[in-house]
Amino acid sequence: MKKYIILVISSAVLLVAVYVATLFIPQRPSVESEYNNNAIQSFENADLGDELAPPVPEF
């Protein structure tokens, strides 16, 4: 019975140690989200004012 208590306690300590270790690993953004961020950024930086405006008729 004492072996099982030690086994449960040691596995719980190991689980907590692994969880705490994963908190310190920096999360790298996925390639897809990085691509979307770059696409949004390039769209926001683009000067689309003249290209999208219809031609103004001159009278």
pLDDT one-digit tens code per residue, 1-59? 889 999 999 999 999 999 998 888 877 766 667 767 776 666 666 655 556 666 777 87
Separation CA 41–CA 55 (nearest Å)? 27
Separation CA 10–CA 48 (nearest Å)? 62
Model pLDDT, residue 2: 87
Q: How many domains does the chain have?
A: 1
- Asked whether residue 59 is domain-assigned, the answer is no
- Structural domain for 19, as ranges: 2-43
Separation CA 55–CA 51 (nearest Å)? 10
Sign of CA dihedral 10, 13, 18, 24: negative
- Asked whether residue 57 is domain-assigned, the answer is no
* Residues counted in the chain: 59
How many Cα atoms are found within 13 Å in the side-chain-facing hemisphere of 27? 6
- Asked whether residue 18 is domain-assigned, the answer is yes
